[in-house]
Structure 1
Amino acid sequence: MDQPAVLVTGATGFVGRRLVDKLVDDGVDVRAMTRRPERYQGPATPVAGDVGDAESLAQAVAGIDVAVYLVHSLDHDDFEARDARAARNFARAAADAGVRQIVYLGGLGGDDQDLSPHLRSRREVEGLLGSAGVPVTTLRAAIVVGHGGISWELTRQLVKNLPAMIVPRWTSTRTQPIALDDVVRYLAGVIGREETFGETYEIGGPEVLTYLDMLRVAAEAAHEKPVPIVRVPVLTPRLSSYWLALVTDVDVVTGRNLIDSMGTEVVVTDDRIKDIVPGEPLPYAEAVRRALGERLSEGDDI
């Protein structure tokens, strides 16, 4: 495919705005879909669209070759139903407009695992996006580490705000965090690549860590004193979400939906993406340093 016209949904979000910047820098014709185009201040061409409103999508996808889907509703109790409805709307609109590829950022986790509602919803959205016939390229990731990311903010604020942490068993679950820079690199690298149409790739950083490991590394990078850890055998997702709401600015609903997923081990088992988009991903400590550095550059403390 020649240089494609690309629509980025969620263009003002954590991943979307960085992807838009990269694509524009690479000379790609980019439309940034947002519910409030009059407020958009990024480098792409803003276009109105809301995945929850099927009628609003036709104009957004008209003339588009590739659509990047970066939308979710984790801050709602009924996020599974919302995300399923949104994916169906977008799939139909993309098919009607002749879109050639949808690129989707989903969640890691084996098809044979007992997935949390969050991860199960991500997996359902994968299928629904392709339900109208447009080939979907899926990149499955665990925690994305970068300034402004909700999972990273949980880590940063816990390290900063707590003199000691009472942690539940889910903090010993293994995961494979990935730097935001690498997520953007992989997303950009599969856009318009016909050999990726209909394929699913797993993406991750070079290390498999527990959530407790991640907290310790983040504390080191932030030059904080080591945080004493006290493990408790039982702390339900609901109780954990209230605990997070007390010591971070993450709301209870989002916290609970994220924590539900943290009992599921999510590690890369297939690294075929490196054949498509060569290059070694950043170590977790470097991803943390970059996230903290970006925060400082915006005038906030770490």
Structure 2
Amino acid sequence: MPQIPENPRVLVTGASGYIGGRLVPELLEAGARVRVTGRHADSLRAWDWSDRVEIAEADLSDRMAVRRAVEGMDVVVFLVHAMGGGKGYADREARMARIVADETARAGVRRIVYLSGIHPETEELSEHMASREQVARILREGRTPVVVVQAATVIGAGSASFEIIRHLAERLPVMPAPRWVDNRIEPVAIADVLHYLTAAATAPDDIAGTYDVGCGEVLRFRDLLTRYAEVAGLRRRRVIPLPVPAPLLSGLWIGVVTPVPARTAIPLAQSMQHEAVPHDRPLSDVVPAPEGGATSYEDAVRAAIASQKAGDLASTWDDDDTMDTDPAAPLPPDPDWAGHTVYTDERERTDPAATPEAVWTVIEGIGGRNGWYSTPTLWWLRGVMDRALGGYGLARGRRDPRRLRVGDALDWWRVEAIEPGERLTLRAEMRMSGRAWLQLGVTPAEGGGSTYHQRAVYFPDGLIGRLYWWAIFPFHALVFPAMARNILKAARTAKG
């Protein structure tokens, strides 16, 4: 097998996800020529690096799409994983792995780099971790050499693991916890994960095998909480282990206390039943270690806290890197609504004192800490209901306090489309019997000022969906007019 060239052609799958979105610029900096794939090309085009890469929209369960994506590549970085992907996700991941293994061999790809998790070799694994190991096994059985990079808890601003640690430590001075908090674990900084993935993808030598990465210190999970508190300047935290494993209950508990919903927290909690201590060769045996050596846990936490405070989140745990089915397909054009039951709530207000630029600034800054410019109590109650049903509620917030891009999570919405200065389309990801969107827009008003446009669209599923709409209709009569009124008010204030 020929060596990897000096400027390799690298395909990054799941490039709009937490790891992928951060890895792409690292690969570009290392001289790689990068092609990226994701299920939605628009989400990929929204990244700052999009004009420096080749974009290929592809679902990894589509063999022909994968065949086109891997053609001409030297290296494929496999980052797609369905955290909380619903029933049958392990089978879907296995199918994707087989397709990637087959098509990379067919195309003559020289190396696959796969990010997996550290786990014990002798215990029965959780479904989440077993699926990751199954993918690694399938890839290794193929003809393309594979570098499996195994990491435990990744510490970085916006990662699911870090958000769990941060919120538990900040909100609970005393934490009754399941007994797995005494399990041993070696965390790793996101910066080191990116370094090693880049090194594994661009290394000229023929390398293959399973390797571990970490911070160089084995801790207990409870130490991650107490040491976070020390670094963050909080009072000493007490963690009290209880004599029960309770993976389901602890996942639900995490889902209540942190922004990570139960459907994601439960598989994470189940995986925490296992110790995550490196036992394979360190990857630094075959590629260079980060300059200055491994990042300590405390330094990784400091970097993550600094990024959070600065609002410098290139990506978050809920970016679109999974293969979960979208809660709603893209909003169809109005003519396509014919023959369907569709409910809408449309508002339009003109304000001669608010400039279009000021109104757009308010629209693009909506959600998260900025709120929804409506009746806060009703909005909060709807968020509580959604969390109780296993949804996101208002806990996700937003990645950037001022700017949005396609694919961004925004509380219980996701940015489906954005026309800067004109219109924002949000797709609902709340728990309900139907599909919903919210559009906010602005146009210059004749004679000066602005006309604000607001439209909520709901496609109900069956009788329950129709009952849902009429049950919340009285609340819409309060929420939506207030939103339109207050957005214009905020725009006038900003203008002044």
Q: What range is the shorter-chain TM-score in?
A: over 0.9
Aligned residue-pair number: 301
Structure 2 CA distance, aligned partners of 1:265 and 1:163? 25
Q: 1:271: how far off?
A: 4.1
Q: Which has the higher contact order (CA 8 A, sep 6+)?
A: 1
Larger Rg, first or second structure (1 or 2): 2
Q: Which residue of 2 aligns with 1:102?
A: 112
Q: 1:101: how far off?
A: 0.8
Q: 1:65: how far off?
A: 0.8
Q: 2:94 aligns with which of 84, 91, 95?
A: 84
Structure 2 CA distance, aligned partners of 1:202 and 1:11? 22
The residue identity in structure 1 corresponding to 2:149 is: L
Structure 2-normalised TM-score?
Answer: 0.58
Determine if the alignment matches structure 1 residue 200 to structure 2 residue 204.
Answer: no
Structure 1 CA distance, aligned partners of 2:271 and 2:201? 28
Structure 2 CA distance, aligned partners of 1:284 and 1:184? 16
The alignment partner of 1:259 has SS state of helix
- Would the alpha carbon gap of residues 196 and 269 (structure 1) be closer, same or farther in structure 2, given more than 3 Å must change? farther
Q: 1:67: how far off?
A: 0.3
Q: 1:24: how far off?
A: 0.9
CA RMSD of aligned residues (A): 1.9
Structure 2 CA distance, aligned partners of 1:132 and 1:65? 16
Q: Which residue of 2 aligns with 1:176?
A: 186
Q: 2:61 aligns with which of 31, 40, 52?
A: 52
1:70-98 superposed Cα distances (whole Å, 9 cap, x missing partner): 11011223332221122112222222222
Determine if the alignment matches structure 1 residue 137 to structure 2 residue 123.
Answer: no
Partners of 1:140 and 1:202 within 8 A in 2: yes
Q: 1:8 aligns with which of 12, 32, 37?
A: 12
Q: 1:290 aligns with which of 284, 296, 303?
A: 303
The residue identity in structure 1 corresponding to 2:208 is: G
Partners of 1:17 and 1:42 within 8 A in 2: no
In terms of fraction of residues, the more strand-rich structure is 2
Structure 1-normalised TM-score?
Answer: 0.93
Q: How does 1:1-302 map to 2 (within 5 A)?
A: 1-2=4-5, 3-40=7-44, 41-43=47-49, 44-78=53-87, 79-193=89-203, 195-279=205-289, 280-298=293-311
- Would the alpha carbon gap of residues 200 and 194 (structure 1) be closer, same or farther in structure 2, given more than 3 Å must change? farther
Partners of 1:101 and 1:192 within 8 A in 2: no
Task: Point out 4+ residue stretches in structure 1 off by more than 4 angstroms.
Answer: none
Structure 2 CA distance, aligned partners of 1:118 and 1:197? 27
Structure 2 CA distance, aligned partners of 1:156 and 1:88? 37
The alignment partner of 2:18 has SS state of coil
Unaligned 5+ runs, structure 2: 314-368, 370-496
1:178-206 superposed Cα distances (whole Å, 9 cap, x missing partner): 11111111111122436453311111111
Structure 1 CA distance, aligned partners of 2:246 and 2:206? 39
Unaligned 5+ runs, structure 1: none
Q: 1:54: how far off?
A: 2.4
Percent identity, aligned pairs only, is 37
